[in-house]
Structure 1
């Protein structure tokens, strides 16, 4: 049986989903760079031939660690689904002579390199400047137009994103973003391979999105993502995911599969995604490309990742389109034949719809809840009225246990201040969107109020 070394770190699809699909294709050896979620620890040991958690001293040279472990278990493929380990795994695959994203993986990770590459190819994106010092930020502000968005070059989940509306806000934003990146590293949400990554930033102009020009009904966000894969250097789009509007600054609240775009609009979005991925020169990996939608058909590239979309994007695609992307990628890396879609799948080919909602302590307008609340999914499931046929569940490994206080939303912290991740399946994407709007409005009403002693604990 073929052997796969799976490198686990925070982020990406739920580990339980990834493990079961990988184990169905090969003997799995797990290298855990982050602690295993308690709800999947037992199944991990049951599904894997080995589970190794390296000591801190072994992680100083992550590529060598991965290479050594792969050789020890005789791995025929090495893969990860975490943004924070993508570059290290790609470099390890190169050293081992195994299929992987290739030596261009850093271009799909470091937003500075990504944007420079797209600029060289003349692709549509916001005007930007790379920033490594506060002086760089002030210099960039002298040539870019306000408002500006400061973002960490190696972050994920909108961590350390800050809107800067005037020159007076530059210094404060710079120091707060660096502070947030340090906090994220302590939580395990940081690049694992590039030691100096916490100090790399990008500042860019904020382009104006217009969802109403692309969607037939209100409520959709003004960007979409193209989910796909690169196989032997060829990009294969799988489908599009839609969004609810983000929470300021640009924290994602919900992803919905499929996105309800017309065929012509979808084709144009996919064409830009193809140009973006091709420009990066990836070889064998999942891809996730986010695109901002503007008026009169304008589009701007936000970012591309050399891995599948995080949260519940992968399970949603399996539920809606019947594609096991994890298993397909494992087969691809093992050199087995894989039938990737010839073109991006459409809403007409979907079997219902699915979406994942990040629970943040803000209402539908992005305003903070007036009271601190206790996370309690049974109350949510019982009290929130959803559409007929809709089914809501909580993703336990990505959520607080019931009874814990919901964190105060921190705009600079992004998804780091989420309380839970909920999954909803419904008859169609419109219903998912409407049910999520109902859920967001109901949460501060149905969740129990936290007592002072619980907040201070």
Structure 2
């Protein structure tokens, strides 16, 4: 049987989903650069031929570590589904002579290089300026129209995004974004291979999107993503996913598969995604391309990744279209023949629809909840009525345990301040959207209120240790004091891995 080295890090599809599909195709050796979610630790031991957790010192030269481990286990393929390990795995595959994204993986990670490449090809995208210093930012502020977006060049999940509305806000935004990136690195939500990646930023013009002329009913976000794969340098689009509107500044709330676009509009979206992927020169990898939708048919490229979409994008595609993208990619990397879709699949080929919702402490209009709440999926499932035939579940490895306080939403923290990830299946995409809208509206009402802490008695005996172990999730220090745009007080809530 063939052998695969799977490099695990934060982000990407749920590890349990990835492991089960990969193990069905090959012997799996897991190189865990991040702690395994408790919900899948036992599964990993069962499915993997080995589980290696390198020390911090061993990870200092990540490329050499991956190459060494691949040679030790006799890997026929090396892959990752994490944004933060894509470049390291791509370079290791080059060294080993194995199929992989190729040297162009850096173009799909560094948003500065990505935008330069697209500009050379004349592809539609927002105006931008690379930023490495405070002086660079001030020059960009003077050149681009307000408002503009400051984002980390190597980030994911909308981490460290800051909207700059005037020249006076630039310095505070710069300080805040750098602090958020430093904190994210401590949690493992940062590039693992490129030195000083946390110091690279880009400023972009904020283009005006609209859903009119694209969707038949209101409530959709003004951007979509094209899910696909590159095999032997040839791009194969799989489908288009729709979105709910983002939460300020641009944090994603929900992804819904498939996007209910008319066939002619889907064809235009997919054609632009093909141009974007082809321009980057990727070779063998999953792809996830986000596109902003505008008036009169205008579109702008947001970004492309050299990996499949994160959260539940891959499981959604499997449920709706019956395509095991993880298994198909593993087969391709191992040199087996794979029947990729002849074109992007749409609503007419779908078996219903599925969507994933990130639980954030904000209402449908993006306003913070009026009080603190405790995450309790059982309460949500029992209290929120879904459309007939709808099914709601929670993704344990991407969610806080029931009874955990829902983190206060911090705009600069992006998806790092999520409480849970929910999956919803329904008859069609508009139904998923309506049910998600109802769910978002209901959450601050149906979740139990958080109990305020009692005043501390300095003479009291120490509290006993908790009877159950603490969840294996990270504690995020607050940047509220240093980041004026963050609307929350200091917090020590835990966020999912």
Q: What TM bracket, shorter-length normalisation?
A: over 0.9
Aligned to 2:479: none
Equivalence for 1:101? 101
Mapping 1:34-433, distance limit 5 Å: 34-433=34-433
Pairwise CA distance, 1:456: 7.9
- The answer for the alignment partner of 2:467 in structure 1 is none
Shift of 1:447: 0.2
Give me the whole-angstrom Cα distance separating, in 1, the residues matched to 2:2 and 2:25. Answer: 8
Q: Matched residues in 1 for 2:91 and 2:209: separation?
A: 36
Question: 1:21 aligns to what?
Answer: 21
- List per-residue Cα deviations over 1:106-138 (Å, max 9, x = no partner): 000000000000000000000000000010000
| Cα distance in 2 for residues equivalent to 1:116 and 1:439 | 40
When normalised by structure 2's length, the TM-score is 0.91
Q: How far is the alpha carbon of 1:212 from its aligned partner?
A: 1.7
Q: CA deviation at 1:195?
A: 2.0
Residue by residue, what CA displacement relative to the aligned partner does 1:220-278 show, whole Å, maximum 9, x if unpaired?
A: 00000000000000000000000000000000000000001001100000000000000
Where 2:212 maps in the other structure, the secondary structure is helix
Please report how far the alpha carbon of residue 143 of structure 1 lies from its aligned counterpart in structure 2 after TM superposition: 1.0
Give the secondary-structure state (helix, strand or coil) at the position aligned to 1:142: helix
Runs of 4+ in 1 over 2 A off after TM superposition: 454-457
Q: SS of 1:69's equivalent?
A: helix
SS at match of 1:104: helix
The 2-side partners of 1:210 and 1:186 are apart by 37
Task: State the alpha-carbon separation in 1 of the partners of residues 310 and 31 from structure 2.
Answer: 19
Distance 1:442 1:416 in 2: 22
Structure 1 equivalent of residue 471 of structure 2: none
Distance in 2 between the 1:353 and 1:456 partners?
36
The equivalent of 2:474 in structure 1 is none
For structure 1, the 5+ residue unaligned runs are none
For 2:171 and 2:262, the matched residues in 1 are separated by 44
User: Structure 1 residue 3 and structure 2 residue 3: aligned?
Assistant: yes
Aligned-partner SS, 2:98 = coil
Q: Name whichever structure is richer in helix by fraction.
A: 1
Residues 146-196 of structure 1, C-alpha deviations (whole Å, 9 max, x = no match): 100000000000000011000000000000000000111111100000120
1:213 Cα offset (Å): 2.0
Question: CA-to-partner distance for each residue in 1:377-403, whole Å, 9 max, x for gaps?
Answer: 000000011111000000000000000
For structure 2, the residue ranges without an aligned partner over 5 or more in a row are 455-490
Distance 1:170 1:71, change over 3 A: same
Number of aligned residues: 457
Partner Cα distance (1:326, 1:4) in 2? 12
What are the superposed Cα offsets for residues 342-380 of structure 1, whole Å, 9 maximum, x if unpaired?
Answer: 100010000000000000000000000000000000000
